[in-house]
Amino acid sequence: MKVSVAKYYILLILAMIFWGGSWVSAQIVVSVAPPMTVGFFRFFTASLIFLPLFLATQRKSLRTYTARDFKLFFVLGLIGVFGYGILFLIGMQFTTAAQGSIIAGINPVTVSLLAFLILQERLTPKWRYTGFLFSFLGIVFVVGVQALLDFHLEYLIGNIILICAMFTWGSYSILGKSVMKERSSLETTAMGIFFGTLIFFIGALFEQFWTLPIMYDPTFWLNILYMGLFVTVLGFLFYFLGIKNLGASKSAVFISMVPVFGTLFSFLLLHEPIYPTFLIGLIFVIVGILFINYPRKAQTTDVQPSPTPLNES
């Protein structure tokens, strides 16, 4: 493998490590701060980097925006940044980082499923649809089978909320794909983050974030910095470099590593128990992702993954 190619594989692995670690980081911050405050400071941190980058490279685009463009950007921020973000944070208040990261592994599956239902996009060859079955079985083991063996109502509630978050992300991805036919991925993501941050800010005002003890907690700020800079900004940039230089299909396969790293970090850093049902579910989810995103031949038309992963989170 050439060094010039190998570096993009390394960047993709780093992006997956960042996204896997986001579940541990989220578990820490939601235990000390309300969700609106967490979401605001996370995406405000990302905005401090994304917006200057956007203005430096896409300044001319501002002159061509119409009212329709701003409405679409607002909806993207409402669904993909705020909607997904708040469900993600609320879900993590109930469940564990290990379970959450495995459930997040169905992200590419929900995107492909909604693309099939809404856009009538078809996976080819048809054996790729087996991936939906494997991913569904994986979630059954994590959410259903484990609940039968060792029932915790709070875990079940959190996991259901996270599944809703994954479908919210899928809806955002479908809308984002249509917007990116006319606008670049950078401006689509930057503007979505901008409006999503504004919505989170309004919520954080109701939580009176300036009165919270976490304003003076270095652990909170370190995790916010990690989620804003490493998960959202660097994860986004590294993943896009992979897509640009290696192709979408090869890059998408790496997403299967997110639940692996998430489960590993939750065990090593939070000392969460890893049950056999979790490992079985993890394997099923990974196999499902690989079936759907297996590198295709050049002449085959296939569903591409969404190129706007804000968090894998």
Of the candidates 305, 297, 292, the residue with the CA atom closest to the CA atom of residue 240: 305
Distance of alpha carbon 27 from alpha carbon 226, whole angstroms: 13
Distance of alpha carbon 12 from alpha carbon 236, whole angstroms: 10
Flag residues of the chain having pLDDT under 70.
Answer: 1-3, 58-59, 61-63, 123, 247-250, 252, 293-313
Specify the pLDDT at position 249: 60
CB burial of residue 245 (10 Å; 0-12, 13-18, 19+): middle
String of DSSP letters for 117-177: HHS----SSGGGGHHHHHHHHHHIIIIIIHHHHS--HHHHHHHHHHHHHHHHHHHHHHHHH
Specify the pLDDT at position 92: 93
CB neighbours of residue 75 within 10 Å:
18
